[in-house]
Amino acid sequence: MKKNFMYIFAVSAFALVLSSFVVAQDDRAISAAGSLYVISAKAGGVNYVEGKVAVAQKSGKSGYLLKGDTLEVGDKVSTGTDGKAEILLNPGSYIRLAENSSFEFINTSLDDLQVKLTGGSAMFEVITNGEFKFAVNTPKAQLKIIESGVYRVDVLSDGSGKIAVWKGKAEIGEGNATTVKGGREATIINGQVAVAKFDRDDKDALATWSKTRAKELAKVNSRLERDNLRNSLLNSYNRNGWNLYNSYGLWVFDRFSGSYCFLPFGYGWSSPYGFGFGRDIWYFRLPPIIYNQPREAVGGRDFRRNPPKRENVENNDVRRKPIERQPDIRPAPKSHPSPQTSPRERHPGKVQPNDQ
């Protein structure tokens, strides 16, 4: 009798432990399923890797670079003969490395981003303006990207550099800097700059791949789900993960595609390649306190007072600028929003938008 009682007790205890384990597994599965998006405002995320790409970390460790890794200042990345990689810069901007290329971050601060291309070639898809500093260094040259656009930088055999501007504007040198506009390329040799036109329709494999990636990521943005991402945005915001200042938007990791895409703070923006963003921060109808939070409450600079040039999806008007005065925070009537007073166009991120 005693043996039977002990047997029944042991079986019951085992069943209880097993059921607790299953419940715990279910809880973790529910938790994972409820967090379909990851929010970030940092540079350094590895968004795409193909072929062999090596990384030598500043800590002394080395190995292959993998999608999902995060690069820090001083980590050196090198692509092999079949390798290429896409790395996140400030939200909305990317560097895409060709084969036989190498680069590292010098500074990952979002308002003073600096990278060094030590060899090979890279495409840069950039959202920026004059307030936001972005520099690309080669062994013998420094290039400053001062407008949103698409750029290619090549390191020549002697360490000098060449920059081709598909769209945007770059500067070379200090003081009397040489300006390089869209449709022109500049070669820097022994401190001398030579500027010439180039054919923007003549694209090689790197340029074609970069544009294809931009198109794919714009589609990822357009598929972001309102309810799930809204919860992720609120959770991240409540943990002080982001605010509407100090950047042009956020990186959002989409588990369905396995990639980060850009979520802009501005309304009606498109990528530097011209692919429209179907989702922006206004689409998710966050609490008014987030849209109306004064800059003084979080500190930092407000880059949105002079937003980067952007392409309007409907009419390609990239010249509209915000009004400097403080906007009226009362939302306009839902039935007749006025384009002249639309808070999202006039001063992105300041007031709650009208529901669409």
pLDDT over threshold 50, residue 351: no
Q: Which tokens is 288 given?
A: 């008014």
- The predicted model scores a pTM of 0.76
Is 330's pLDDT higher than 50? Answer: no
* Whole-number pLDDT of residue 336: 26
Angstrom distance (rounded) from CA 134 to CA 117:
13
Amino acid at 89: L
pLDDT digits (tens, 9 = 90+) for 42-53: 999 999 999 999
Give percent of the chain with pLDDT exceeding 70: 72
**Per-residue pLDDT for 337 more than 80?**
no
Pairing of strands 76-79, 62-64: unpaired
C-alpha 29/C-alpha 254 separation (Å) is 17
CATH topology of domain 43-206: Jelly Rolls (2.60.120)
Please give the pLDDT value at position 158: 85
pLDDT of 205 higher than 70 = yes
Q: Which amino acid is at 281?
A: I
The secondary structure of 168-202 as a DSSP string is SEEEESSSSPEEEETTEEEEEETTEEEEEE--TT-
pLDDT > 90: percent of the chain = 58
| pLDDT band with cut points at 50, 70 and 90 for residue 17 | very low
Each residue of 63-118: pLDDT tens digit?
Answer: 999 999 999 999 999 999 999 999 999 999 999 999 999 999 999 988 889 999 99
- Could you give the CA distance from residue 303 to residue 109 in angstroms, rounded to a whole number? 14
Q: Is the pLDDT of residue 285 over 80?
A: yes
pLDDT value of residue 322: 33
By three-state DSSP, how is residue 47 classified? Answer: strand
Q: Are 343 and 325 in contact (CB under 8 A)?
A: no
Which of 86, 127, 129, 89 minimizes the C-alpha distance to 106?
A: 89
The answer, yes or no, to whether residue 27 has pLDDT greater than 80, is no
Cβ proximity of 168 and 272 under 8 Å: yes
pLDDT band at 246 (very low <50, low <70, confident <90, very high): confident
End-to-end CA distance of the chain: give it in Å, rounded.
73
Among candidates 37, 102, 39, 116, which has minimal Cα distance to 65?
102
pLDDT band at 343 (very low <50, low <70, confident <90, very high): very low
* pLDDT recorded at residue 354: 36
Q: How would you label 125-146 residue by residue, b for 16+ Cβ within 10 Å and e otherwise?
A: bbbbbeebbbbbbbeebbbbbb
Per-domain boundaries in the chain:
43-206, 223-346
Q: How confident is the model at residue 355 (pLDDT cuts 50, 70, 90)?
A: very low
Q: What is the mean pLDDT of residues 238-251?
A: 90
- Residues 119-170 have pLDDT tens digits of 999 999 999 886 777 999 999 888 999 999 999 999 998 888 999 999 999 9
The per-type count for the chain, helices as H runs and strands as E runs, is 6, 20
Weakest mean pLDDT among 109-123, 256-270, 303-317, 318-332 = 318-332
Q: Are 188 and 177 in contact (CB under 8 A)?
A: no
Residue 254 CA to residue 236 CA, distance in Å, equals 15
In the sheet where 102-107 sits, what is the strand order?
62-64, 53-56, 76-79, 102-107, 112-119, 133-138, 141-145, 169-172, 178-181
What would the pLDDT profile of 214-243 be if each residue is shown by its tens digit? Answer: 999 999 999 999 999 999 999 999 998 898
Question: 350 or 62: whose pLDDT is higher?
Answer: 62
pLDDT at residue 83, rounded to an integer: 97
Classify strands 161-167 and 169-172 as parallel, antiparallel or unpaired.
Answer: unpaired
Residue 176: predicted pLDDT: 82
Lowest mean pLDDT, pick from 251-260, 265-274, 341-350: 341-350
Q: Which two tokens stand for residue 356?
A: 């669409």
Partners of 84 in the beta sheet?
50
The two beta strands, 112-119 and 133-138, are: parallel
pLDDT of residue 94: 98
